[in-house]
C-alpha cells in the first residue's frame, strides 16, 4: 500500500531530483518505480528527497518498499542478488561469535560496525570515560538500506533477547545508522546517541591545535534526528570555526548498494560533499563516511577523535583490518571474563577428547581395562568417567552395559545411575553458568527455542518427555537444558527418575551377558532379558501420557 499510495499522490514535479544524484540520473521516484524498478537498489535511502517534496510525501520510503517487494517476489537481478548476499554476509558475520560481544551491564556502549572496526582505541576510551559496558554487534542496517526488512526484524528480535539476557537496559549509540535501526525496530530499548552524553570540547590538544576552519558533515541518518545535528554543532562550537556547514545531511555514497553496483554514482555523492566543503577539513560523526573521504585523499576527522583527544587517523582502513580489529576488541573483552577462559578450556577439552575418541585413543574398552587395574577404586573411577563422559560426547551406553557386566544388576545400577545423573548435571551447569552463549550460537534457535518454550510451559515434564522420547542425543540435550529456565533441582530429580528405567534395562542386560560368558548361566541371561524388557516397557507405557502434555515437536 505504501508504494501504491505514493504513486497515486506523486505529481512527478521533479523537486526531489535536485538533492539526489540517483534521481538526477534515473528520473523521479514515480517514474523509476513504474518503469525501471530494478534500479531502485541504487537508491542510498538517505531521505534527502523527503525534505524537498512539496506534497509532503516520502519518496525514500516508497523506494525502500519497492526494494522490499522485489526481494519478496524474488525478481531481483543477479548483480543485485550478489550485492545483497554480500551485505547479508557482512551483517551475519558481525552478528555472530567471535565478532559479537555483550558485556553484562545495565548501560553499555554500542559503537557499531565501522567505529569498532576502524578505531577500536576510541571505543576503549569511550567505555573507560563513561564507565559503561561494551556491546559489539551488527544492527543489520546494510540489509535495511537494501530493503531486506524481514532480515532486520528477525535480527532485532535476537538483539533484544541478547540485551535481556545480559541485563542491559540502556544503550549509548556510537553509530547514527544503528540509532536509526533501534528507533524503527526496537523502540522499547532506551537509547541515546553518543553526542548526547559526552562532554563538549573546550580546549585544543596538540593533535588539533592548528585546525581552524572546518566543514561539519552530517551523515544522512541524522535526517531523522535534529537534536543529534544540534549536539554535533554545539560540541565543536567553542573549539573550531564551522565554515559552510551543510544545512541538511548529505549522503557520502555508501548507502544501499550504490557503492557495490555503480562506483560512478557512489562517487557523485562523495564529490557532492567534498564540493560543499569548499576545501575545508571535513569533520563528521560517521566513521564509514570519514573512511570514504580519506580514500579520496581529503583531510577528514571523526568528532570522537576530538572528544577523546585521540591521535587522528589519516589513512583509510581496509576491510580485512576492520574485521581483525573487531575480533581483537571482542576477544580482549572476553579474556577479562573468567567464565570465558574456563568455558574455552572446556570447549578445547571437548574438541581434544572427540579427536582422541575418533582416533581410537579413547574407547569404552580402554576405559574398562583401565578400571579393572584398580579394583578398589574401580567404582569411583567408573563414576568419574561416567560423570565426565557425556560432557565430551563419550557414548554412555557401553558404560552402562559394562557396569552390569562388572558388578551385576544391583551395584551396576547404583554406579551407573549415579554416574549418569552427575554426567547429565555437569554439561547442564557448564551451559548455565559458563558457556551458555557459545551453546546458543552453536545450536540453532529452532532446537533450543522449542525446548525453552516447552520448559516454560511444562517444567519437569519436558525433562521427563525428552528422557523417554529421545528427540535429541543425550549429550546435546544436557547442554540445551542448561540454557532453559528450568530450576536445577527439578532437572536433577526428573533426570534421575526418568533415566532410571533405561539404566536398569541396560545394566540387567549387561549383567546377563556376563553371567552367560563367565558362568555359562543361560537362566541368568533369560532373567536379565526379562528385567530389561520390563524396564524398557515402562517408558513406552508412560509415553502416551506424556505426549498429551507435550504433543509433538512442531506444536
* Mean pLDDT score of the chain: 82
Residue 493 and residue 236: Cα distance in Å, rounded?
64
Task: Indicate if the pLDDT at residue 15 is higher than 60.
Answer: yes
Q: Which of 162, 174, 301 is nearest to 228 (CA)?
A: 174
| Mean pLDDT, residues 150-164 | 95
Q: Which residue has the higher pLDDT, 373 or 533?
A: 373
Residue 84 and residue 70: Cα distance in Å, rounded?
12
pLDDT digit string (tens) for 522-547? 454 455 555 545 544 555 555 555 45
pLDDT band, very low/low/confident/very high, at 164 (cuts 50, 70, 90): very high
pLDDT band, very low/low/confident/very high, at 327 (cuts 50, 70, 90): very high
Q: Which residue has the higher pLDDT, 510 or 216?
A: 216
φ, ψ (nearest 5 deg) of residue 495: -65, -45
Res 176: pLDDT: 95
Q: Which of 200, 185, 130, 111 is nearest to 154 (CA)?
A: 185
Helix H or strand E segment including 398: helix 397-433
pLDDT digit string (tens) for 332-349? 888 776 555 555 655 665
Res 517: pLDDT: 43
- Cell numbers at 220, concatenated: 544522512
φ, ψ (nearest 5 deg) of residue 225: -130, 90
| Mean pLDDT, residues 444-471 | 73
Res 469: pLDDT: 65
Res 503: pLDDT: 82
Res 531: pLDDT: 52
Which residue blocks in 28-175 are alpha helix, DSSP H?
A: 29-35, 59-73, 78-94, 113-118, 120-130, 141-145, 149-165
Task: Indicate if the pLDDT at residue 131 is higher than 60.
Answer: yes
Query: In angstroms, what CA-CA distances link 492 with 393, 433, 465, 506, 523?
Result: 19, 16, 14, 21, 36
pLDDT band, very low/low/confident/very high, at 519 (cuts 50, 70, 90): very low
Q: Which strands form 213-217's sheet, in the order they lie side by side? A: 241-242, 213-217, 282-284, 300-302
Task: Indicate if the pLDDT at residue 414 is higher than 80.
Answer: yes
Question: Is the pTM higher than 0.85?
Answer: no
pLDDT digit string (tens) for 47-81? 989 988 998 999 999 999 999 999 999 999 999 99
Task: Indicate if the pLDDT at residue 521 is higher than 50.
Answer: no
Strand partners, 214: 242
Task: Indicate if the pLDDT at residue 411 is higher than 90.
Answer: no
pLDDT digit string (tens) for 415-440? 888 888 888 888 888 888 877 777 77
| Mean pLDDT, residues 272-282 | 90
CA angle 414, 419, 425 (to 5 degrees): 130
| Mean pLDDT, residues 218-247 | 80
**Three-state DSSP state, 147:** coil
pLDDT digit string (tens) for 132-147? 999 999 999 999 999 9
Residue 59 and residue 61: Cα distance in Å, rounded?
5
pLDDT digit string (tens) for 109-122? 999 999 999 999 99
Task: Indicate if the pLDDT at residue 506 is higher than 60.
Answer: yes
Res 406: pLDDT: 74
pLDDT band, very low/low/confident/very high, at 366 (cuts 50, 70, 90): low
pLDDT digit string (tens) for 169-217? 999 999 999 999 999 999 999 999 999 998 766 555 667 777 778 899 9
Q: Which residue has the higher pLDDT, 28 or 238?
A: 28
Amino acid at each position: 500500500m505504501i508504494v501504491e499510495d505514493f504513486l497515486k499522490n506523486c505529481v512527478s514535479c521533479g523537486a526531489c531530483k535536485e538533492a539526489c544524484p540517483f534521481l538526477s540520473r534515473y528520473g523521479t521516484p514515480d517514474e523509476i518505480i513504474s518503469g525501471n524498478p530494478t534500479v531502485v537498489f541504487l537508491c542510498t535511502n538517505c531521505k534527502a528527497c523527503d525534505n524537498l517534496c512539496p506534497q509532503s510525501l516520502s519518496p525514500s520510503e516508497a523506494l525502500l518498499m519497492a526494494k522490499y517487494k522485489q526481494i519478496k517476489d524474488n525478481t531481483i537481478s543477479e548483480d543485485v542478488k550478489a550485492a545483497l548476499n554480500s551485505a547479508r554476509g557482512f551483517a551475519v558475520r558481525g552478528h555472530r561469535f567471535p565478532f559479537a560481544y555483550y558485556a553484562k551491564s545495565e548501560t553499555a556502549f554500542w559503537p557499531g560496525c565501522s567505529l569498532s572496526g576502524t578505531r577500536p582505541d576510541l571505543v576503549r576510551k569511550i567505555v573507560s570515560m563513561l564507565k559503561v559496558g561494551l556491546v559489539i554487534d551488527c544492527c543489520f542496517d546494510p540489509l535495511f538500506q537494501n530493503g531486506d526488512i524481514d532480515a532486520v526484524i528477525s535480527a532485532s528480535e535476537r538483539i533484544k533477547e541478547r540485551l535481556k539476557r545480559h541485563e542491559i537496559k540502556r544503550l549509548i549509540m556510537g553509530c547514527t545508522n544503528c540509532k536509526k535501526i533501534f528507533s524503527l525496530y526496537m523502540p522499547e530499548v532506551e537509547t541515546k546517541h553518543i553526542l548526547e552524553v559526552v562532554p563538549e570540547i573546550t580546549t585544543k590538544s596538540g593533535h588539533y591545535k592548528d585546525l581552524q576552519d572546518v566543514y561539519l558533515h552530517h551523515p544522512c541518518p541524522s535526517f531523522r534526528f535534529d537534536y543529534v545535528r544540534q549536539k554535533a554543532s554545539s560540541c565543536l562550537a567553542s573549539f573550531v570555526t564551522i565554515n559552510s556547514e551543510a544545512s541538511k545531511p548529505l549522503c557520502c555514497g555508501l548507502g544501499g548498494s550504490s557503492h557495490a553496483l555503480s562506483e560512478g554514482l557512489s562517487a557523485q555523492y562523495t564529490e557532492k560533499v567534498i564540493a560543499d566543503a569548499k576545501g575545508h577539513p571535513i569533520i563528521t560523526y560517521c566513521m564509514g563516511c570519514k573512511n570514504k573521504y580519506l580514500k579520496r585523499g581529503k583531510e577528514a576527522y571523526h568528532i570522537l577523535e576530538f572528544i577523546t583527544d585521540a591521535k587522528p587517523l589519516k589513512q583509510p582502513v581496509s576491510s580485512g583490518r576492520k574485521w581483525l580489529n573487531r575480533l581483537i576488541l571482542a576477544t580482549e573483552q572476553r579474556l577479562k571474563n573468567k567464565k570465558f577462559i574456563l568455558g574455552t578450556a572446556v570447549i578445547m577439552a571437548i574438541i581434544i577428547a572427540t579427536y582422541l575418541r575418533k582416533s581410537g585413543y579413547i574407547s569404552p574398552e580402554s576405559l574398562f581395562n583401565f578400571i579393572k587395574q584398580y579394583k578398589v577404586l574401580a567404582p569411583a573411577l567408573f563414576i568419574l568417567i561416567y560423570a565426565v563422559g557425556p560432557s565430551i560426547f563419550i557414548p554412555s551406553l557401553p558404560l552402562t552395559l559394562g557396569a552390569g557386566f562388572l558388578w551385576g544388576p544391583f551395584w551396576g545400577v547404583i554406579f551407573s545411575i549415579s554416574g549418569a545423573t552427575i554426567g547429565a548435571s555437569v554439561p547442564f551447569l557448564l551451559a548455565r553458568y559458563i558457556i551458555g552463549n557459545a551453546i546458543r550460537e552453536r545450536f540453532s534457535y529452532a532446537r533450543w527455542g522449542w525446548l525453552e518454550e516447552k520448559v516454560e510451559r511444562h517444567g519437569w515434564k519436558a525433562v521427563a518427555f525428552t528422557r523417554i522420547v529421545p528427540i535429541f542425543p543425550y549429550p546435546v540435550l544436557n547442554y540445551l537444558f542448561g540454557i532453559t529456565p528450568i530450576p536445577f533441582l527439578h532437572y536433577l530429580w526428573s533426570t534421575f527418575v526418568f533415566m532410571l528405567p533405561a539404566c536398569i534395562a541396560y545394566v540387567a542386560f549387561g549383567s546377563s551377558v556376563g553371567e552367560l560368558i563367565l558362568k555359562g548361566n543361560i537362566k541368568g541371561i533369560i532373567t536379565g532379558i526379562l528385567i530389561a524388557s520390563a524396564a524398557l516397557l515402562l517408558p513406552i507405557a508412560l509415553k502416551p501420557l506424556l505426549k498429551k502434555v507435550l504433543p509433538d515437536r512442531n506444536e
